[in-house]
Amino acid sequence: MFGKVLIANRGEVALRIHRACREMGIRTVAVHSEADANAMHVRLADEAVCIGPARSSDSYLNKPAIISAALITGADAIHPGFGFLSENADFAEMVEKHGIVFIGPSSAQMRLMGDKIMARKAAVEAGLPITPGSPALESVDDAIAWANKIGYPVIVKAKDGGGGKGMKIAFNDKEMVEAYTMARAEAKAAFTSDVVYMEKYLQKPRHIEMQILADKYGNVVHLGERDCSIQRNNQKVIEECPSPALNDAQRKEIGNIVCNAIKKIGYQNAGTLEFLYEDGKFYFMEMNTRLQVEHPITEAITGIDIVREQIRIASGAALGYTQDDITFSGHAIECRINAEDPETFTPCPGKINEWHAPGGLGVRVDSEIYSGYTIPPYYDSMIAKLIIHGKTRNAALMRLRRALEEFVIIGVKTTIPLHQEIISQAEFIDGQYNIHWLEHFMENHYHKK
């Protein structure tokens, strides 16, 4: 097992990784920007290294600075968390070449599954169901030709995309011209590559993802699915598991398909396969080769510490259990709490004057916020995750309602009121929603005030 792990991230996920390491007897190194000198994970880590100014490009995306920090402190491994460099194959390769273990898949596996076009090809070869789609698009005329072959509506996507960037929908040839141009421009700005492709656009799907763990000995298990359909601008807002839309037979069927595919691909470590689900059918979208923001709800219903498993697998340990050993207990829901105006989603950085997190049975809060902490304006606005576990979905909803009432954050605006509104709606209570539900709700509820 590793003696020391460097955490190449910030915020609640950095604290989450630190906690897992400490419980395993592993020392931690926190890297931080100048703006994060007082962050909780920096205060708790065994060692801390400042790697640059506030801007992410000068700090958390500064590959040489992070590698140098690992070498100077004698870290055995680097955990990238999520976001930043977590799916950057070049960074993973740099880590490997310096004799440090990257806690995640190999750079080669990351390149394969991180390239959306290559990932679709690998998915087909591995037996995963996918939506009709195109190869890389060469021109507007090429895009129009493929759209007519697939059939409108279609969605144009960045090859290296993520987080909803570089994605545009077209319903006809005229809209395709704009969609193709805008998707390429967004892709170039966000990912440096303007290569795009397209897929058939499903009208009312759910977003369902399967969590897997795979070791280097060919052992693969799935930890069930998460329903991530409550989202805005392709950004997830609330996640739950199991999905209200699936039954045990469907869960077992897609779980077996996913595990077999992962074995064929030869993937190792934790990963998530994302699907659109409509009319009883699954359509593979992409694979995330990293820890997911919403991993705690899977931990709640399985009792498996996914971060701990990532570290164990990276150290060369076998899973030590099979699919038959995994049981699913109860229902879990996660709310992403952002420092944003709940109506306009405008970021609201600033000082936390008062902070009181809810507690009680089945309540977990992942956050590094504390009273007196100042939220910097340079990074993602998510400041906490509220994770609820109950014996049934209804019990989880009642507990979530209570926990949101207890949650006190004074000093900045947060999205807590939005979560309270969402979970009080009949469609959400009944589990009758799709990926467009929240945007329609926002339009009707807030914009017509």
Mind telling me the catalytic residues? 290
Q: Is 124 helix (H, G, I), strand (E, B) or coil?
A: helix
| Phi, then psi, of 9 in degrees rounded to 5 | -165, -175
| DSSP characters over 305-359 | -HHHHHHHHHTT------GGG----SEEEEEEEESB-TTT--B--EE-SEEE---
Tell me the CA distances in angstroms from 90 to 10, 96, 122, one per residue in order.
20, 10, 20
Residues 41 and 7 sit within 8 Å (Cβ to Cβ) = yes
Q: What's the CA gap between 417 and 337, in Å, rounded?
A: 10
Residue pair 48/71 in contact (Cβ under 8 Å)? The answer is no
Residue pointed to by tokens 């049975």: 361
Contact by Cβ (8 Å): 186, 155:
no
What whole-number distance in Å separates Cα of residue 64 and Cα of residue 91?
Answer: 9
- Output the six-digit token pair for 96: 């490997």
- Classify the C-alpha dihedral 87-284-160-381 as positive or negative: negative
Complete edge-to-edge strand list for the sheet that includes strand 47-52: 47-52, 27-33, 4-7, 77-79, 101-102
The single residue listed with the structure tokens 């954050």 is 409
Cα-based distances in Å from 415 to 294, 345, 355? 17, 8, 15
310: its two tokens: 């990532």
